[in-house]
Amino acid sequence: TNDPAGSREQILGMLSDWVNYYLQPSHNDKALLGYLTQPVFQNILKEEESSIRFYRICLEVTIDSCVPVEGTNGKTLSYGALDAFTKLAVLLVKFAENNNIKTGILVKILNIAIKTLARDHDSKGAAKFDQRPYYRIFSNLITELSLHDPTINENTMLQFLTAFSNALIVTSPLKIPGFAFAWLQLVSDRIFMPKLLHTKSQKMWPYFQRLIVELLKFLEPFLRNAELNEPIRLLYRGTLRVLLILLHDFPEFLCNFHFSFCDVIPASCIQMRNLILSAFPRNMRLPDPFTPNLKVDLLPEINHPPRIMSNYANALNAVPGFKQDLENYLRTRQPLSFLPELRNRLLLPGGAVVNGTRYNVPLINSLVLFVGTMAVARVQSMGSFRIAPNATDIFQQLAVELDTEGRYLFLNAIANQLRYPNSDTHYFSCILLFLFQEAQSEAVQEQITRVLLERIIVNRPHPWGLLITFIELIKNQRFNFWSHSFTRCAPEIERLFDSVARSCM
């Protein structure tokens, strides 16, 4: 409404001429570019305010022009005008005189598209909002500007990819749920996703990790309660497909960020978590976990720490004083009060219940990995497993002191480190078996077994570290596994153990 008088009409006239020119099949990019050099375009686009008004009005009008094509009962929309507008945007971005201007135009257009999307989503509501025109805009821009083009240098391409990533972070399902399906399709676009994950020095990996975390956070409450109605089931299967592509084509990405993803996958999503933990670097040959008498501690890979790009100490820093006390204890085994108080510090403040639990799950995950990483470093520097008693104190204390719920979360945090052959997998495998062996009560041993077993009985894939730990547990006489009554507590459990033991043997 505050547009200057006549400006809207002028812009609509320019847009109409442009669309007609664009739709002539003989007008290729070169001719289209020539058309945009007309003074009328140059004048309106060189001013900040008038250019924003131009893009906004063009976007609104071309989005409204996406109406169902006759005879397709709403299945197909006509995108002619919208494609014309995005082509105009692409040409302006591509042929702007320098990289900053290129990126500036792209960011401006994306911002306007995002604002229009959010306003449309909130005003039209579930019944009338249509995600497809916005999908088309982002898809056209991403496809045309992510494609290899020697006139776009690598640095500019990174700026484009950053702009697209930020736009998708801002329009994630947590913010605009009615755009969720289009959003996941854009994130996993066959040109965009590899562009982000193929970048040299993995510069764009943190952005893609953020996008996957946004998706998993959105799904978390629905998956935790196993409320898989139609839309959630579709999103869940779609997420599995995307994760499978990452597992197959970009396993190192899943390896490096496993901690971030496990932090937001509910404990009940065992297969999805296994999928992520099953990733291993492409240049690694995994020894068959079922090899009889496989000597894991002789594998060279177990001396190398895994690459972890997640900031796994974040949750420790979020609790005032916790990290300092923990580091102090690991260094000096002081103060003695640290251990007995530890259990209560893992509870959410004020008895809150979040995501169905009283415990601060990210803090438990962070504590386990942090203590384990410090212990591995110490073991490697001193040459023996026994040389990290402070760490084992903490793990033993938690195994004994935590209640069933807390211990389940704690044991899960350990099991989340059982992955491909590396020093963490080896350490946490030993720790889990050590806790089994040293347990004072059979309840702890049963729970350790349960945490492993529930990860093994789900459909594939299974992480290598999980398999070798479970096989060791049931085969090595030292653990006297089969003597425990819980292996025979019910006929179906006995059958289950037999079948798993047979498949493992």
Partner 1 sequence: DFATSHGKFSAHEQDSIMSMLEGSLKSLPEPNDSERHRPKPKPYLTPSYYPQVAAGIFENPQLFEKFDTDTLFFIFYFQQGTYQQYLAAKELKKQSWRYHKKYLTWFQRHEEPKEISNDSEQGTYVYFDYETGWCQRKKTEFTFEYRFLE
Partner 2 sequence: LGTDLTTLGLNLNSPDTLYSTFGSPWADTPAKREPEFYIPMCYYMQ
Q: Could you tell me the smallest distance in angstroms from the CB atom of residue 431 to partner 2? A: 26
Place of tokens 């903490």: 394
Tokens encoding 147: 């494609």
Residue 30 makes contact with partner 2 by CB under 8 A: yes
Tokens encoding 71: 């005879």
Q: Could you tell me the smallest distance in angstroms from the CB atom of residue 140 to partner 1? A: 8
Instruction: Reply yes or no: is the peptide bond before residue 335 cis, omega within 30 of 0.
Output: yes
From 207, 112, 194, select the one nearest 159 (Cα to Cα).
Answer: 207
Choose between 229 and 459: whose C-beta lies nearer to partner 1: 229
Q: Is 45:92 a contact under the CB 8 Å cutoff?
A: yes
Longest dimension (CA), the chain: 88
Choose between 217 and 345: whose C-beta lies nearer to partner 1: 217
By CB under 8 A, the residues from 91 to 120 that bind partner 1 are: none
Q: How far apart are CA 496 and CA 488, in angstroms?
A: 10
Q: Which helix (H) or strand (E) holds 140?
A: helix 132-146
Tokens encoding 190: 């066959």
Stretch of 5-13, 170-178, 453-461, 462-470 lying at the interface with partner 1 (CB under 8 A): 170-178
For 349-377, b/e burial (b = at least 16 CB within 10 A) is eeeeeeeebebbbbbbbbbbbbbbbbbbe
Q: How far apart are CA 374 and CA 148, in angstroms?
A: 43
Q: Which does 75 bind (CB under 5 to 8 A by kind): partner 1, partner 2, none?
A: partner 1
Stretch of 7-15, 55-63, 125-133, 494-502 lying at the interface with partner 1 (CB under 8 A): 125-133
Q: Could you tell me the smallest distance in angstroms from the CB atom of residue 117 to partner 2? A: 19
Residue 121 makes contact with partner 1 by CB under 8 A: yes
Residue 177 makes contact with partner 1 by CB under 8 A: yes
Residue 206 makes contact with partner 1 by CB under 8 A: no
Residue 123 makes contact with partner 1 by CB under 8 A: no
Residue 493 makes contact with partner 2 by CB under 8 A: no
Q: Is 255:288 a contact under the CB 8 Å cutoff?
A: no
Among 461, 475, 479, 496, interactor with partner 2 by CB under 8 A: 461
Choose between 84 and 112: whose C-beta lies nearer to partner 1: 84
Residue 145 makes contact with partner 1 by CB under 8 A: no
Among 242, 367, 388, 409, interactor with partner 2 by CB under 8 A: 242
Choose between 188 and 256: whose C-beta lies nearer to partner 2: 188
Q: Is 176:121 a contact under the CB 8 Å cutoff?
A: yes
* Burial (CB count within 10 angstroms: exposed 0-12, middle 13-18, buried 19+), residue 504: middle
From 48, 47, 39, 49, select the one nearest 14 (Cα to Cα).
Answer: 39
By CB under 8 A, the residues from 201 to 240 that bind partner 2 are: 234, 237-240
Contact map string, positions 145 to 184, toward partner 2, x by CB under 8 A: --xxxxx-----------------------------x--x
Tokens encoding 292: 């009889």
Q: Could you tell me the smallest distance in angstroms from the CB atom of residue 190 to partner 2? A: 5
Amino acid letter, 394: I
Contact map string, positions 219 to 248, toward partner 1, x by CB under 8 A: -xxx------xxxx-xx-------------
Residue 271 makes contact with partner 2 by CB under 8 A: yes
Among 164, 192, 208, 218, interactor with partner 1 by CB under 8 A: 218
In this structure, how many other beta carbons lie within 10 angstroms of the beta carbon of residue 413? 25
Q: Is 327:378 a contact under the CB 8 Å cutoff?
A: no
From 96, 199, 185, select the one nearest 146 (Cα to Cα).
Answer: 199
By CB under 8 A, the residues from 293 to 312 that bind partner 1 are: none
Stretch of 39-47, 68-76, 189-197, 311-319 lying at the interface with partner 2 (CB under 8 A): 189-197
From 291, 290, 278, 284, select the one nearest 462 (Cα to Cα).
Answer: 278
DSSP alpha helix (H) spans, 188-268: 192-197, 205-224, 230-249, 251-256, 258-264
By CB under 8 A, the residues from 9 to 68 that bind partner 1 are: 22-25, 27-29
Q: How far apart are CA 473 and CA 429, in angstroms?
A: 10
Residue 128 makes contact with partner 2 by CB under 8 A: no
Stretch of 108-116, 174-182, 409-417, 452-460 lying at the interface with partner 1 (CB under 8 A): 174-182
Choose between 143 and 202: whose C-beta lies nearer to partner 1: 143
Among 12, 23, 31, 101, interactor with partner 2 by CB under 8 A: 31
Tokens encoding 378: 């110490």
Residues making contact with partner 2 (CB under 8 A): 28-31, 33, 147-151, 181, 184-185, 188, 190-191, 193-194, 234, 237-242, 244-245, 248-249, 270-272, 274-275, 457-461
List residues binding partner 1 (CB under 8 A). Answer: 22-25, 27-29, 74-77, 79-80, 83, 121, 125-127, 129-132, 135-136, 139-140, 143, 174-175, 177-182, 185, 189, 217-218, 220-222, 229-232, 234-235, 264, 354-355
